Structure 1
Amino acid sequence: MGKPTINFLRIWIFLIPFQVFSQNIGRVGLEGSRGFVIAHSSDLIPVSQTNPYGLKGSYQVLKTDQKNWEACNCFHYLGIGFSYHNFDSPDILGAAFSLSGSFEPILWQHKKWVLGLESGMGVSYLTRFYDSETNPSNTFFSAPISFLMFVAPHLEYSLTPEWTLQLALNYNHISNGGQKKPNKGMNYPMLSFGIYHYLNSVELPNHSKQPLERELVFFGEISYTNKNSEWAEKRKPSLALTGGAYKSITGINALGLGVELNRDFSFDGEDGISNDLMPAPFISHHFLFGRVDFSQRMSLYAHKPNGYNDYLFYQRYILQYQVWENLGLGIGLKAHGHVAENIEFRLGWKF
C-alpha cells in the first residue's frame, strides 16, 4: 500500500465524528473508482489516453425534521468528503487530493434499494500542472490549487441495517475557474463501487410536500467573476445581468427561458463599450428541491465583439440556494461544450 493511500485513510478516519444526534441519520462511506479522461480538444488527445483511479472517504448526515425536509421537499444528506484521484500519468497529469462538500437528495426507495443524486464542489490540490518548460503538455491544469465540481447518481442496496453496498457513476470536473491560463479543465467520468456504514438507524417520518407551483416564476440575477485572459495582463471583472422565467412541469423539474447581458472587462475591444456588451437569449432546465435550484442553461451569443471567441453557444450550470423568501445566493460555471471558462458568484431575486 503506497503512501498516498495510507495518508488518505488517516485523513478519512480523522474526519469521522465521534457521535451522531439521535434524530439524525449518520453514515460513513468508502469507495473505489476508475474511469477515463474526456479529450475535449485535439491537442489533449495524446495526454488523455489514461484511466484515472482513486479512493474517496465521506461522512454524511440526514436530518429528519420538518424544517430540513422543506429545504428541498425531500430527505437529503449533507456531507463532507476527501478523495484521492490518480490520473495514471505521474509525469504529466499527476494526481488530485480534494476536499469537498456534498448534497444528496433521496429520489426513490423501495425495500432494500435507494436511489440518490449526489452533487458537490470543493477544492483540489494538484501534484502536476502546466509549465511552459517542464510540463507544456498538461494544459488541463495551470495552478496547484483548483476547483472541483461533481455529480453522481447513487444506487444503494442494504445488506443489513448497518451496512449497504453502493454503485455510482461520477462525472467530475476540475478547473481553476478562469483565474489562470491555460484553463481547459479536466472532465473525467468514473464508475465507483463502495460501502456505507450507518452509525445509527432512525425511521423516516412522513412529511407533507409543498404544493406544486404552476404559475410562472420570474427572476433577475447578477453575476460576478474576476478572470484572467489572453487579452489582459492581470485579472479583470466580468459582470452579467440576467432576467427570465420558468414554470414547473413536475415536482422537481421546471423549464424556462430568459436573456443575459454580459460585459467582460478582460476583453478591450476597439469599437467602444457598447459593442463589447454581449446579449444572449437562453433556454433552461431546473431541478427544484425546495430552496435549492440547480439549473442548466443553453445560451446563444446574439452579439459579441470581434475576436472574443469562435463559439456560437455556451452553457451555464448554476447551483442556487434561496436564503430568504425572494433572495437567492449561488455559484455558477460557464462553459463552451466541455471547455470551462470561469466560475462565478451569483445573486438572484424572485418576483
Structure 2
Amino acid sequence: MKVRISFLFIVGLLICRVGWAQNQNPISIGVTYQGGQVLVHSAKIRHLRGVQPQGIELNLQSQTTGTKFWHQLYRYPRLGISLIAFDYREPSLGKSLAASIYLNKYVHQGPQYTISVRIGTGLAYFSNHFDRKINATNNVISSPLNAVIQLRTEFERRISPQFSVVAAAGINHYSNGGNSKPNLGINIGTLTLGLNYHSQAAFEPLVQPWPMPGHKLSFIMSGSVGVKQRNDFDTATYVVKSVAVGAMQQINPKSTLLVGLEGFYDPSLFPRRNWDPRVKPGTTPDIKRVALNFGHELTIGKLGFGTYLGWYAYRPYKSDAAFYQRLEMRYPLTHNIYVAAGLKLHDFIKADVIEYRLGLRLWKH
C-alpha cells in the first residue's frame, strides 16, 4: 500500500521538477485556518452527516516568472507545497495529515487583489481507518495512507507590500482508489481564511517568443499494472494488467489528442463471475477485455494531465458499465520513454484501480 500510493505522490512532485522557480524567484509562505463539512455523497455514509472537521494549513509557493515558455502560456501560475492537518471531531475518523503539491492559476488580477484556482494532489495519513472489529462504522477510509485531491477558488488581497489575506472555498477528496475496501472515500467542503507573506512586492514577467507552429504526431505503446481488492468481504488482492497502443496528435502547445486500443486482464472478475446469477450454469464467459479509448492531454511543461474515455468493444463477461474513464499524469524519462500513474473509473465516480504505466513514445518526423 505504501509503495503504491507513494508513487502517486512522487508523480505529484514532478510538478515542482517541471517548473519550480529558481532561488531568485518570488516566494510566499502562508498559514490558513480551514473549517470543513463532510459532504454526504452516498446514502451509505449518512451517519457522517453534520461532521465538521477543523484544520490548519501551512504552504510554500513559488511564483513562475517566464523562464520557461509554459509559464506565460498559463499566465504565470504559482507552484506550491502544502501541509494540511484536520481534526474530524468524530471518533471513527480521528485525524488526518495531508502533504500535497499544487498549481495555483490566476483567473483575474486587479491592482491589489487576485482571484485564482488551485488544484493539487498528494498523500494523506489517517489515524483511524476501517477495522471490522474495532472501527466498522468507518466505511469511507479503509487504509492509513490515501491519495488526496484538492480543488479550491482563492481570493487574495494585498494589505501591504509583503502581506496579503486569503479567503477560499474548495473541496478536499480522500480515497485509496480501490486498493482496499470499503472505500467510499470522503469529500470535505472547506472555507479557508489565512495570511500570506511574500518575499517581494512584485515581479516583472519574462515574455518569450511563441514556438514555431508544428502539429506533432506520435505513436505510443505501453503496459500497466495495478492492485485492487474486490469488495469488503474478499480480502484477497488482485493484480490487474493492461497493454495499449495508440496515436497522439499535438494540436497546440497546451493540448494533445489521443486515440488508442487497449486490452485488460482483471483476475478479480473470476470470483465475481463464478457467483454471478446472470451467468448461465456450465458457462464461463471470457473475462478479458479489449477497448477503444480516446481523450485529451493538457501539457504543463513536461508533465501531462490526461482525461480519457474508453469503450469495451470486446467484453464477453459484462460485469461493469460498457464505458470507463481514466485520469492520468504522465512524465517523460527520456525523449521516447515515459512513466504514468492514473485512476481508472466506471460510472465516473466508482474507482476501479490505480494504474502504474511504463510506455514507449515514437515521434513521426
Same fold (TM over 0.5): yes
1:12 counterpart residue number? none
2:63, 2:79 within 8 Å by CA — same for their partners in 1?
yes
Rate the CA distance shift 1:37–1:301 in 2: closer, same or farther, 3 A: farther
Is 1:224 matched up with 2:225?
Answer: yes
Rate the CA distance shift 1:101–1:133 in 2: closer, same or farther, 3 A: same
Number of aligned residues:
328
- 1:333 pairs, out of 335, 343, 365, with 343
1:320 counterpart residue number? 330
Q: Which amino acid aligns with 1:252?
A: K
1:135 counterpart residue number? 135
Is 1:286 matched up with 2:297?
Answer: yes
Give the C-alpha shift of residue 109 in structure 1.
Answer: 4.3
1:47, 1:137 within 8 Å by CA — same for their partners in 2?
no
- 1:237 pairs, out of 236, 239, 262, with 239
Distance in 1, matches of 2:254 and 2:210, equals: 11
Distance in 1, matches of 2:41 and 2:326, equals: 17
- Aligned counterparts, 1:251-266, within 5 A: 252-266=254-268
Give the C-alpha shift of residue 73 in structure 1.
Answer: 4.7
**Structure 1, gaps ≥5 residues long:** 1-19
Distance in 2, matches of 1:110 and 1:208, equals: 26
Give the C-alpha shift of residue 317 in structure 1.
Answer: 1.0
Q: Which amino acid aligns with 2:238?
A: K
**Structure 2, gaps ≥5 residues long:** 1-20, 275-282
Deviates more, 1:327-336 or 1:229-238: 229-238
Rate the CA distance shift 1:128–1:304 in 2: closer, same or farther, 3 A: farther
Give the C-alpha shift of residue 139 in structure 1.
Answer: 1.0
Q: Which amino acid aligns with 2:229?
A: N
Equivalent residue of 1:44, what SS? helix
Rate the CA distance shift 1:247–1:53 in 2: closer, same or farther, 3 A: farther
2:297, 2:307 within 8 Å by CA — same for their partners in 1?
yes
Distance in 1, matches of 2:255 and 2:344, equals: 21
Distance in 2, matches of 1:283 and 1:300, equals: 9
Q: Which amino acid aligns with 1:240?
A: S
Q: Which amino acid aligns with 1:259?
A: L
Rate the CA distance shift 1:323–1:193 in 2: closer, same or farther, 3 A: farther
2:66, 2:72 within 8 Å by CA — same for their partners in 1?
no
Rate the CA distance shift 1:21–1:293 in 2: closer, same or farther, 3 A: closer
Distance in 1, matches of 2:326 and 2:33, equals: 30
Q: Which amino acid aligns with 1:45?
A: R
Q: 1:226-254 CA deviation, whole Å, 9 max, x = no partner?
A: 22324965333212223344555665345
Deviates more, 1:141-150 or 1:250-259: 250-259
Equivalent residue of 1:161, what SS? coil
Equivalent residue of 1:341, what SS? strand
Distance in 2, matches of 1:306 and 1:152, equals: 40
Give the C-alpha shift of residue 303 in structure 1.
Answer: 4.2
Give the C-alpha shift of residue 58 in structure 1.
Answer: 0.6
Rate the CA distance shift 1:252–1:45 in 2: closer, same or farther, 3 A: farther
1:77 counterpart residue number? 78
Distance in 1, matches of 2:321 and 2:40, equals: 18
Is 1:295 matched up with 2:306?
Answer: yes
Distance in 2, matches of 1:295 and 1:87, equals: 33
1:297, 1:316 within 8 Å by CA — same for their partners in 2?
yes
Rate the CA distance shift 1:46–1:107 in 2: closer, same or farther, 3 A: same
1:61, 1:78 within 8 Å by CA — same for their partners in 2?
yes
Q: Which amino acid aligns with 1:27?
A: S
2:255, 2:296 within 8 Å by CA — same for their partners in 1?
yes
Give the C-alpha shift of residue 43 in structure 1.
Answer: 1.6
- What is the root-mean-square deviation in Å for CA atoms of aligned residues? 3.3
Give the C-alpha shift of residue 28 in structure 1.
Answer: 0.8
Deviates more, 1:176-185 or 1:297-306: 297-306
